[in-house]
Amino acid sequence: MSGIQGWLSETGSPDVVLFSSPGGNDALEGLPYDDTIENINNIIDIIQADNPNVTIIIEQLAPGRSDFMTPELASYINQLQQEVLSIASNQSTSESQVIAVDMFTGFYDSFLADEIHYNEAGAEFIATRYYNVLRNVLEE
């Protein structure tokens, strides 16, 4: 977590954070699920401690390519997608909103350049989902 604190020191406190693919690398590395959830919560805690008024938009991450997703990885990702809703609710404060954004509904293999990384169409899909949330956040 010291990496995040260093980045915050170098860049200054953000007002809005796009928390992309939370737990995705943990899942790919086979980290225990509970450790992944702890990592996500710790990241949010550090960002909120740095700026108690920050808005964090956290992804319910898109899956990897269907032929890459083992049953174990699919289960991990599916569970994580639902857990992000709880994290968003539990980590939101009266000053700092944590908003979950669904990146998996309507996401297709054709949006991937390889097993897990977006191609141009995938990036556009993800950007549109973020934009729809950001539009409301920035209007406030």
SS3 102: strand
With respect to CATH, is domain 2-139 assigned 3.50.50.60?
Answer: no
Confidence of residue 1 (pLDDT cuts 50, 70, 90): very low
Q: pLDDT confidence of 2, banded at 50, 70, 90?
A: low
Q: Tell me if 76 sits within 8 A of 33, measured CB to CB.
A: yes
Rounded CA gap, 41 and 63, in Å? 21
What is the arithmetic mean of pLDDT over 96-125?
A: 97
Contact predicate 59/109, CB 8 Å = no
The amino acid present at 101, given as its one-letter code, is V
